[in-house]
């Protein structure tokens, strides 16, 4: 066996380049300026081969990373014959490789003795890129031209020399240029770290061996993916879900429809039948739809497969142009995150028919986007951007996790203390909400609410949320999750607000957002009464809902389950359904049922 085909050496090389991508991600985390990056961690890093094929990705956002191949295709299309050492590319154009305007790609080709061997790739959600609303993320923009500065693929650095013209254009068109430039420098620092560590790999393996291994890591992932797909059932499965509206045509639901076809080691994800593109800013780019599709499929594949373009080769994604999943000019797309997250849920609906014992119910609908911006008394701008999610759908074997970021996001929460120190905002509440989780043999994740108190004289509040009219679906008898809610000044006027809004707020106003609860899995009458007792004791479920949804009678003074009364009540519920008997439940010792939950 030659060294070039040594599987142990390949494994070591694979781990090395994935470590580089992770180190790049840590570099962004350590050096970035804005809260949406250093706290939410809304950024991603990757590493591509000399042809721009994604070979490794950091432990960051699936939504970004599934879109990197499209960004690299654009860079290669424009500049493949025009790259030299010291070049750095920048872009955010959704219609030429990007996703939405706040997500700016910074990509650096890496050379060895004049030969291009790889690319270091970064993408960060920047807190503001101009446009009509602070944060550049409004749901109710109706064309791309209102959303901010659109950067075509171009050279930010040419042979090591910065393009001051580009930097000047950016500076004059964003609200917080110091933060944006700081975040851009974090991306450049990450690319530099990637370049430095890659040079060490080239010194160890040599350029030819390095090129071979980069391609082999991708091919290896493809082989593993096709082998894993071959183990899954062949067939075709379709699923339909609905977004409430686009924030412009209120009350007009938007259809998502997916058909998954699987044969041998190949899978086709076809979004034909999805709604035409809409006026509001929730239109996806095809790259983001691909990323959502890849994420859904990847969730049912074995964990040991490297996450790179080899996985994507085995999965064909189709979405007709001019639909909400593949918008064309002049489609607004700043709030496209909503559609992408919901497409992942739609994928779960189809995959649950294919693999009923491996797929979870719908989560909270993806992350809610909240932006608050304005000017202080000295006309100094401020922008706060928060993406929040935290309720997974119930799984066929366990409850949905509470407080976990959506699988498509893999993001963190803002620090309340840092937010209050840096922004004219006070967080008055951040707590779980009872009776919102979808009931089931396994319940959905419990959502939370946040109260944001505005402390400046005046500002603009922008909210992107959903799952109010079309609640998160349950699976196999599980109930849907509770709907999301928005309120202004909940302790006084308690005004119900729409799911998507752009409005002026004044000093002292309090905005409350309540996430949707996640869907349940399986019949609620099959749920272990001890688990119901535990949720009631932890204030995640009320005594009344325990009785209504699960037929479980709880004595809250002794914190015990009344086993006999529970059996009687479950029989009554079963008879009301027209059933002769209660579904088979797990047997428990009566003493165990009566024991207080720990």
Q: What is the 3-state secondary structure (H, E, C) of 28-60?
A: HHHHCCCHHHHCCCCEEEEEEECCCCEEEECCC
566 and 473, same structural domain? no
What would the pLDDT profile of 453-503 be if each residue is shown by its tens digit?
999 999 999 999 999 999 999 999 999 999 999 999 999 999 999 999 999
Above 70 in pLDDT, residue 585?
no
Q: What is the pLDDT of residue 205?
A: 93
Residue 352 covered by a domain: no
What would the pLDDT profile of 486-499 be if each residue is shown by its tens digit?
999 999 999 999 99
Average pLDDT, the chain: 93
Band (pLDDT 50/70/90 cuts) for residue 595 is: very low
222 contact partners, CB below 8 Å, separation of at least 6: 310, 311, 313, 314
Band (pLDDT 50/70/90 cuts) for residue 597 is: very low
574 and 428, same structural domain? no
As a whole number of angstroms, the distance between CA 215 and CA 48 comes to 9
How many domains does the chain fold into? 3
CB-CB contact of 274 with 498 (8 Å): no
141 and 29, same structural domain? yes
What would the pLDDT profile of 57-70 be if each residue is shown by its tens digit?
988 888 887 889 99
497 and 544, same structural domain? no
Above 80 in pLDDT, residue 83?
yes
202 contact partners, CB below 8 Å, separation of at least 6: 112, 117, 210
538 and 511, same structural domain? no
Q: What is the pLDDT of residue 35?
A: 86
175: left (phi over 0), alpha (psi -120 to 50) or beta: alpha
CB-CB contact of 525 with 574 (8 Å): yes
The boundaries of the domain holding residue 551 are 525-594
Band (pLDDT 50/70/90 cuts) for residue 554 is: very high
Q: Which of 161, 189, 222 is the last residue of a domain?
A: 222
Residue 471 covered by a domain: yes
Q: What is the pLDDT of residue 584?
A: 59
CB-CB contact of 569 with 551 (8 Å): yes
As a whole number of angstroms, the distance between CA 312 and CA 298 comes to 9
Q: Within 10 Å of residue 208's Cβ, how many Cβ atoms?
A: 12
Q: What is the pLDDT of residue 309?
A: 95
Tell me the pairing of strands 485-488 and 495-496.
Answer: antiparallel
**Residue 372, helix vs strand vs coil:** strand
Q: What is the pLDDT of residue 4?
A: 63
Band (pLDDT 50/70/90 cuts) for residue 592 is: very low
485 and 561, same structural domain? no
Extract the tokens encoding 64.
């970004």
Residue 108 covered by a domain: yes
To the nearest 10°, the Cα dihedral for 162, 163, 166, 167? 40
Considering the chain, what percentage of its residues have pLDDT values greater than 90?
87
Q: What is the pLDDT of residue 582?
A: 66
Q: What is the pLDDT of residue 588?
A: 34
Band (pLDDT 50/70/90 cuts) for residue 581 is: low
First to last CA, the chain: 58
Angstrom CA distances, 348 to 58, 206, 324, 435, stand at: 24, 44, 19, 24
To the nearest 10°, the Cα dihedral for 498, 502, 503, 506? 110
Q: Which of 469, 499, 522 is the last residue of a domain?
A: 522
Residue 161 covered by a domain: yes
Lowest mean pLDDT across 7-21, 122-136, 400-414: 400-414
Q: What is the pLDDT of residue 593?
A: 31
Q: Which of 201, 222, 243 is the last residue of a domain?
A: 222
Above 50 in pLDDT, residue 145?
yes
**For the whole model, what pTM was predicted?**
0.93
């Amino acid at each position: 066996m030659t060294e070039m085909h040594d599987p142990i050496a390949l494994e070591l090389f694979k781990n090395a380049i994935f470590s580089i991508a992770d180190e790049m991600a840590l570099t962004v985390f350590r050096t970035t300026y804005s809260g949406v990056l250093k706290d939410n961690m809304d950024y991603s890093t990757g590493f591509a081969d000399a042809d721009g094929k994604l070979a490794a990705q950091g432990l960051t956002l699936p939504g970004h990373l599934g879109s990197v191949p499209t960004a690299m295709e654009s860079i290669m299309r424009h500049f493949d014959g025009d790259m030299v050492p010291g070049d750095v590319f920048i872009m955010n154009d959704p219609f030429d490789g990007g996703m939405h305007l706040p997500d700016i790609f910074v990509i650096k080709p890496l050379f060895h003795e004049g030969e291009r061997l790889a690319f270091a790739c970064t993408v960060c959600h920047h807190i503001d890129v101009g446009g009509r609303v602070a944060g550049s993320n409004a749901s109710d923009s109706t064309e791309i031209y209102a959303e901010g500065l659109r950067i075509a693929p171009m050279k930010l650095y040419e042979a090591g020399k910065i393009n001051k013209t580009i930097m000047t254009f950016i500076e004059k068109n964003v609200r917080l240029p110091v933060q944006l430039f700081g975040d851009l420098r974090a991306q450049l620092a990450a690319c530099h770290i990637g370049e430095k560590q890659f040079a060490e790999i080239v010194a160890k393996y040599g350029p030819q061996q390095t090129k071979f291994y980069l391609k082999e890591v991708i091919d290896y992932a493809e082989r593993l993916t096709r082998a894993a797909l071959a183990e899954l059932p062949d067939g075709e499965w379709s699923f339909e879900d609905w977004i409430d509206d686009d924030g412009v045509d209120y009350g007009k639901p938007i259809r998502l429809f997916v058909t998954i076809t699987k044969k041998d080691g190949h899978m086709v994800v076809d979004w034909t039948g999805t709604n035409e593109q809409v006026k509001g800013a929730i239109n996806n780019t095809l790259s983001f739809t691909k990323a959502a599709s890849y994420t859904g499929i990847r969730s049912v594949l074995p964990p040991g497969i490297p996450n790179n373009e080899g996985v994507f080769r085995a999965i064909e994604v189709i979405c007709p142009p001019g639909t909400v999943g593949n918008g064309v000019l002049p489609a607004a797309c700043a709030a496209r995150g909503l559609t992408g997250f919901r497409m992942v849920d739609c994928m779960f609906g189809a995959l649950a028919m294919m693999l009923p014992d491996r797929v979870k119910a719908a989560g909270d609908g993806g992350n809610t986007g909240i932006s608050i911006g304005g000017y202080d008394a000295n006309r100094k701008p401020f922008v706060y951007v928060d993406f929040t999610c935290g309720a997974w759908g119930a799984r066929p074997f366990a409850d949905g996790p509470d407080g976990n970021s959506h699988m498509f996001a893999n993001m963190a929460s803002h620090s309340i203390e840092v937010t209050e120190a840096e922004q004219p905002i006070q967080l008055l509440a951040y707590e779980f909400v009872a009776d919102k989780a979808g009931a089931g043999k396994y319940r959905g994740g419990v959502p939370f609410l946040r109260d944001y108190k505005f402390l400046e004289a005046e500002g603009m509040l922008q909210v992107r949320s959903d799952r109010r009219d079309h609640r998160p679906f349950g699976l196999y008898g599980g109930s849907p999750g509770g709907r999301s809610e928005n309120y202004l000044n909940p302790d006084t006027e308690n005004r119900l607000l729409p799911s998507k809004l752009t409005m002026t707020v004044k000093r002292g106003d309090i905005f409350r957002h309540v996430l949707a609860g996640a869907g349940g899995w399986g019949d609620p009458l099959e749920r272990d009464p001890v688990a119901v007792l535990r949720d009631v004791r932890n204030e995640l479920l009320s005594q009344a809902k325990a009785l209504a949804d699960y037929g479980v009678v709880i004595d809250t003074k002794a914190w015990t389950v009344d086993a006999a009364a529970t059996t009687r009540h479950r029989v009554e519920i079963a008879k009301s359904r027209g059933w002769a008997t209660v579904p088979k439940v797990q047997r428990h010792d009566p003493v165990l049922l009566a024991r207080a939950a720990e």
